[in-house]
Structure 1
Amino acid sequence: MASSLMSIPDHLKAEIFVRLPEPEDLARTSATCVTFRTLLADASFRRRLRLLHAPPLLGVLDRDGFQPALPPHPSAPAARALAQAADFSFSFLPSHRRWTVQDVRDGRVLLADDPEPQVYTELVVCDPLHRRYIVLPQVPYAVPTPMEYPDPVVHRRHLFIASPAPGDNGAAAAMEEVERAFIVVLIAHCQTGLAAFVFSSRTGQWRAAAPKGWSDLFTSKGESTLITSIHPKFVGRHYAYGCFYLESTIDNKFLVFDTRRMEFSILDVPREVSNMFGLAIVEAGEDRLGMFDIHTERITGKHGVRYYIRGNKGESSSQWKMEKTISLHYDYQYYIQASTERYLLLRKFGPLQVINSSPEMLKVEYVSMDIKTMQLETVCGISFGFSLASARIYTSFPPSLLSAPTL
């Protein structure tokens, strides 16, 4: 069979290999011979592979470390290989720092040394698989600001990492450079408004976005007065089409930061949407936004994940429409934990009748949902005591498919 495959032209081999259903099949193919490995390592092949196959959900990174997907989850073999090969204790980083995970995307982890409540003294982007890292330059907090925005005190910060949105790198950029590129976004939350700073791995520098006052974001006088007086809090972290979304804890709104335009805005959601158990923003395809919430029927007590799409064909782009509801097990409580472009992560508690009577019998699990198929899969069981805001989805290709270090 190997002899027959070798006689096939390379472009036809690529057509065969890119259609292999599982990542581990590609890993075995890559290990077969130098010719196959060279073909699979080619940048154009990797680009086609990423377009056709979403990176598998390999596990969850929470305050207890990396939690690999366990059988019968389809990513369990690849997750086990990653757990064995990568260093999620980050022992390869400078030991004089205490690092905390801020965000995870595309197999990269953003960490911060945070000894002071208001200032990050050092930021690092690392590749735990290849044990490599980049120390980012200091964030330029002291940038010129308009007179109407004089407050330099940072009350809260939000840190994100992402690949640049399509089009940010230029059509002539080499594929290798595009795959290595990443951005880091820091949103500084002050009493009078917001500021944002964006680091690009291509330039090695930070850029400051124009600051935005609360009165500019919340046009209603009552809203802006309320926001300013109680120091608004934003939670969650979602990324879609080059924009980061933070959920407001005051009302049904998202704070949006567009990394391409370097601008802030507010996204409203329907009044019937419940944020009691979390919200998530995802890519619905065709440049449309998708949104998930968890809804419980008052009469029956049944609950499910509701899926909304904004800007359906033939409708205003500002309108949300509920597409479907995915039923959840009636005897368990679910919370939306995190999301990526392809997956929704839920935390599952139960059975409900034992929460007060027999807490030692309580099961706590991470459950994933494929946004394309709406299929639910148990990722792994976890301990009970961790914060709902501490877990992040880890997606990547299996170790043997990764090219030379991505940073």
Structure 2
Amino acid sequence: SFAGVQLPMATDKKGELLLTEIPDHPLTEILLRLPTPQDLARACAACSTFRRIATDASFRRRFRRLHAPPLLGFLDREGFHPAAPPHPAAPAARALARIADFSFSFLPSYCSWTVQDVRDGRVLLARDPDPQEEDEQPPVFTDLVVCDPLHRRFIVLPPVPRDLAASVDDPADPVFCGCFCEPSLIPPSEEEAAAALEETAFRVIWFAHSNIKVYTLVFSSSTRQWRAAASQGLTDLLTGEGELTMITPQHPLFRGHYYACGCVYWKWMTNERWKKLLVLDTRRMEFSIADLPLEAWNMADIAIVEAGEDKLGLFGLRDEFADVLCYIVGRKQGENLSHWQTEKTISLDYSYQHCIGATTGRYLLLEREEGSLFRWLGLDSLNMEYFSLDVETLHLERVCGKPISSGTSRTHLYTNFPPPLLSSPTI
């Protein structure tokens, strides 16, 4: 029996008990408790009944909620860096690196592409500016493509319609100069996921702001169209916040975008400190503002993650030496984010320079630069090491290391194997 369910049995001619067909409900519960996706894949190869249950959309949703996706590595401008032993995802990461195309050679070759965001194994890329057009003003909204490097498939997003692009260029703003954040991938809405195979649905948001207003355009894979989703005046957002004096002829400073608990968060610097979060609720498509805890104001770097039970987690490095990683959790009271409480502080090796490289809802990537003393003496640093931190266990694990390259590069965590973009789900 399983979970109190007596399984039907039969007896062969020799009197030995045989397991006959198991009802779908207990079989589903058994498959849900397989420890890893690899175990589920092997079980699906055993018989068609197992495969039928495991490829059902409701089963996959439940399995993903119970099992965190594996952190396979990260992407930067140098390509894909797989998790290396002894990281538990190293075998899967090595296999992915061997068969996936992270050079994106299968994309249209009329231009070069730069990674903008990664979610659930899919990659969002934007067209690089044409070097021959350096003297021209680059377009506000460039070409975008969402691709699956494992199956080498992609979808080129349609251009942003002229009327939507023109609506962002606000003539009411006398000092508008077009400062825009990167586009980002977010999960589909519940309606979109229900209307199509959940694995094939996705959304891309494009956040823009002027000195007096914030805007969001959204592309849905279900409709294959862009739409204006949300816009809000900064003065209206700050009404009652007591900080209207922060709006100056210079652009308000928004940095980073983090998706957690159905919302996108941008750090908002006020009075030369990260004091607030600009929040976009992707279910209602409405902007709001949340206060950061006082402890975060003097941190060198902060990042947002999901803390479980619809709570928000904040990681930050203390500003003085960046050798202490703080974890703070905020709880929602109605629609407001408050009740911040420090959950844990993690001491880091003070002989290294640390920074936060990237986050997903579940994982944090911490970068550690070797040879900080060498750099202080004017010598070359040696290496960069990367560590992952699971939000649930708060356990640091080394992902990999690589030589330090010249220049800066955005880092994007790569978790999970991508679901197919254009075909039925496979195991």
**Residue in structure 1 matched with residue 280 of structure 2 by the alignment:** 257
Q: Do residues 126 (structure 1) and 140 (structure 2) align? A: no
TM-score, reference length from structure 1? 0.85
**Residue in structure 1 matched with residue 80 of structure 2 by the alignment:** 66
In 2, Cα distance between equivalents of 1:156 and 1:317: 26
Match of 2:59 among 45, 58, 78: 45
Contact 1:338 / 1:346 at 8 angstroms: preserved in 2? yes
Alpha-carbon shift at residue 393 of structure 1 (Å): 0.7
Query: Number of residue pairs matched?
Result: 395
Letter in 2 for 1:155: C
**Residue in structure 2 matched with residue 267 of structure 1 by the alignment:** 290
Runs of 4+ in 1 over 6 A off after TM superposition: 3-6, 144-147
Are the structure 2 counterparts of residues 240 and 331 from structure 1 closer, same or farther at C-alpha, using a change threshold of 3 Å?
Answer: same
Deviation string 1:111-147 (CA, Å, 9 cap, x unpaired) is: 1114264423311111111111111122231249988
**Residue in structure 2 matched with residue 339 of structure 1 by the alignment:** 359
Alignment of 1:6-405 (within 5 A): 8-115=22-129, 117-139=138-160, 140-143=164-167, 148=172, 154-165=178-189, 167-169=190-192, 173=194, 177-219=197-239, 223-249=243-269, 250-252=272-274, 253-274=276-297, 276-295=299-318, 303-311=323-331, 317-357=337-377, 359=379, 362-385=382-405, 390-397=410-417, 404=424
In 2, Cα distance between equivalents of 1:35 and 1:78: 26
In 1, Cα distance between equivalents of 2:179 and 2:322: 40
Deviation string 1:369-404 (CA, Å, 9 cap, x unpaired) is: 00000000111112313666600111113899x984
Alpha-carbon shift at residue 71 of structure 1 (Å): 0.7
Letter in 1 for 2:186: A
In 2, Cα distance between equivalents of 1:84 and 1:207: 38
Tell me the SS of whatever aligns to 1:134: strand
Tell me the SS of whatever aligns to 1:141: helix
Tell me the SS of whatever aligns to 1:78: helix
Contact 1:215 / 1:221 at 8 angstroms: preserved in 2? no
Q: Percent identity?
A: 53
Aligned-pair RMSD on alpha carbons?
A: 3.3
Alpha-carbon shift at residue 109 of structure 1 (Å): 0.9
Deviation string 1:181-226 (CA, Å, 9 cap, x unpaired) is: 2111001122332211111112222221343233233448995454
Alpha-carbon shift at residue 351 of structure 1 (Å): 4.6
Alpha-carbon shift at residue 151 of structure 1 (Å): 7.6
Q: Single out whichever of 96-105 and 229-238 deviates more from structure 2.
A: 229-238
Tell me the SS of whatever aligns to 1:71: coil
Alpha-carbon shift at residue 22 of structure 1 (Å): 2.7
Contact 2:388 / 2:396 at 8 angstroms: preserved in 1? yes
In 2, Cα distance between equivalents of 1:304 and 1:17: 41
Tell me the SS of whatever aligns to 1:119: coil
Are the structure 2 counterparts of residues 152 and 210 from structure 1 closer, same or farther at C-alpha, using a change threshold of 3 Å?
Answer: farther
TM-score, reference length from structure 2? 0.81
**Any gaps of 5 or more consecutive residues in structure 2?**
1-16, 130-136
Tell me the SS of whatever aligns to 2:273: coil
In 2, Cα distance between equivalents of 1:361 and 1:313: 46
Tell me the SS of whatever aligns to 1:91: coil
In 1, Cα distance between equivalents of 2:187 and 2:291: 26
Contact 2:291 / 2:337 at 8 angstroms: preserved in 1? no
Q: Single out whichever of 380-389 and 144-153 deviates more from structure 2.
A: 144-153
Letter in 1 for 2:218: V
Tell me the SS of whatever aligns to 2:29: helix
In 2, Cα distance between equivalents of 1:197 and 1:102: 16
In 2, Cα distance between equivalents of 1:355 and 1:6: 68
In 2, Cα distance between equivalents of 1:281 and 1:78: 27
Alpha-carbon shift at residue 178 of structure 1 (Å): 2.5
In 1, Cα distance between equivalents of 2:409 and 2:247: 22
In 2, Cα distance between equivalents of 1:88 and 1:5: 45
Q: Single out whichever of 328-337 and 70-79 deviates more from structure 2.
A: 328-337
Alpha-carbon shift at residue 36 of structure 1 (Å): 3.8
**Residue in structure 1 matched with residue 9 of structure 2 by the alignment:** none
Alpha-carbon shift at residue 342 of structure 1 (Å): 0.6
In 2, Cα distance between equivalents of 1:394 and 1:6: 41
In 2, Cα distance between equivalents of 1:105 and 1:220: 36
In 2, Cα distance between equivalents of 1:355 and 1:209: 46
Contact 2:313 / 2:330 at 8 angstroms: preserved in 1? yes
In 2, Cα distance between equivalents of 1:43 and 1:325: 39
